[in-house]
Amino acid sequence: MTGGLQPRRIALISVHTSPLAQPGTGDAGGMNVYVWQTARRLARRGVEVEIFTRATSSADRPVVQAAPGVLVRHVEAGPFDGLDKRDLPGQLCAFSANVLRAEAAQAPGYYDLIHSHYWLSGQVGWLARDRWKVPLVHTAHTLAAVKNASLAGGDTAEPLGRVIGERQVITEADRLIANTRTEAAELIDLYDADPDKIDVVVPGADLDCYLPGDRAAARAALGLDPDDVLVTFVGRIQPLKAPDVLLAAMAPLIRADLTGRLRLLIVGGPSGTGLERPAALAELAATMGVADRVTFFPPQAPERLAQVYRASNLVAVPSFSESFGLVAVEAQACGVPVIAAEVGGLGVAVDDGITGRLVPGHDIDVWTRELAGLLGDPERLERYGAAAVGHARGFSWEHTTDALLASYTAAMDHFPSGPARRGALGRRRARGWLKNRPRMAG
């Protein structure tokens, strides 16, 4: 195809987690935010979006109009409860069958493109691509080979089956979306991806929601002490996200704080291997003698999460692996400096020495020194926070959507012609001609 047509309707596949789920619970996290924010903005650009995700409750309606132009289809595949993400490969056949049935109920050429998120979705998208004769665009979000290379202590390695499944999808996809140039290099070096089909599309933040605001007002709204010095962690409670590293690094600073004002705020819920010991972090705080200075909040809705960021003096992202790091950008958009591990996309999300600090590795003593240096220099924190707002403005979901549409167009431009595709395009061009044809006199 030539002419750079954008898709009319896309099937967006997110098998293991729904964009309607609360981030920070179960397997819901940055990917949920990405899917939801880009789907809404694609719809505003005139692209109809249908999201296929696995039903996890009998209360899930089969089809939900989640936003104008955005449908969420809850696909039955296995029992609603009790399935871990690691169990889902065994349900891909059932999930795929129901996706294909949904398309079969429509006129031929109903979808113009498939965008799969995470490798499980890529396996489904691969099958649907061949059946529907439309291009497959794939975003990995995380890669097993990368996670296994930087595994947290006591965490479980990703299985070989996932590595093989990722490689298959990466080979088959028509376009690959990488969050950063670092991830693009990982796709090439670790999975032999074709460099010519990789598009770097940087995620964003909801800049209408995450804005600077009054710290005292935010603390009052959250019931936090106005005089505390607050270091905040936001994310799923699991070894990969390393909240235990942050707690261990903060503990000696809290014990040495004679003012009694230094406090750690943990916002999120247990996930992944963290579900095996959901109280482990609270137990660690007690063991270290700082339990009275550690506050736990459950996952928060976006508007209230913005208040959490504004209430903080410093936000910490100590993860062992991050393909990007949305928390870092959201916090900076609220005018809060960030200290983060120097891994994956966090080197893009945080401007080291300008909007925060990047810490190499996860040595507890190193983290303690870096935290002490920042917390002991309020003027530097204030300077970083002021610069953080401008830095975060460069990461918007509108920019992300622009780049996604360019990738979709490239995928459609280079996709091999087939009968179904020619028919769909012929109908679209006919509609365009009818809409724009000259009016006849008389």
Mark the binding-site residues for Mg(2+), compressed into ranges.
309-310, 312
Look up residue 154 and give its amino acid. G
Task: Residue 397: name the closest of 179, 204, 117 by CA.
Answer: 204
Please state, in angstroms and rounded to a whole number, the distance separating the CA atoms of residues 353 and 363: 20
- Residue ranges of the annotated binding site for UDP-N-acetyl-alpha-D-glucosamine are 22-23, 30, 236, 241, 300, 322, 330
Task: Residue 249: name the closest of 126, 149, 341, 181 by CA.
Answer: 341
Q: How many residues does the chain have?
A: 442
Please state, in angstroms and rounded to a whole number, the distance separating the CA atoms of residues 58 and 381: 48
Look up residue 373 and give its amino acid. G
- Residue ranges of the annotated binding site for 1D-myo-inositol 3-phosphate are 16, 27-32, 85, 118, 142, 162
Task: Residue 341: name the closest of 312, 362, 364 by CA.
Answer: 362
> CA-based angle 30:35:39, to the nearest 5?
150
**Crossing angle (nearest 10°) for helices 302-311 and 326-333:** 70
Q: Which residues contact 219 (CB under 8 A, 6 or more apart)?
A: 225, 226, 228, 311
Q: Which two tokens stand for residue 146?
A: 């990368």
* 3-state SS, residue 3: coil
* 3-state SS, residue 81: coil
Q: Is 378 exposed, middle or buried (0-12, 13-18, 19+ CB in 10 A)?
A: exposed
Look up residue 318 and give its amino acid. P
User: Which residue do the tokens 């000259």 mark?
Assistant: 438
- Residue ranges of the annotated binding site are 16, 22-23, 27-32, 85, 118, 142, 162, 236, 241, 300, 309-310, 312, 322, 330
The greatest distance separating any two alpha carbons of the chain, rounded to the nearest whole angstrom, comes to: 90
* 3-state SS, residue 413: helix
Residue 42 near residue 3, CB atoms below 8 Å: no
DSSP secondary structure letters along 29-53:
SHHHHHHHHHHHHHHHTT-EEEEEE
- HEC string of 128-175? HHHHHCCCEEEECCCCHHHHHHCCCCCCCCCCHHHHHHHHHHHHHCCE
Residue 89 near residue 61, CB atoms below 8 Å: no
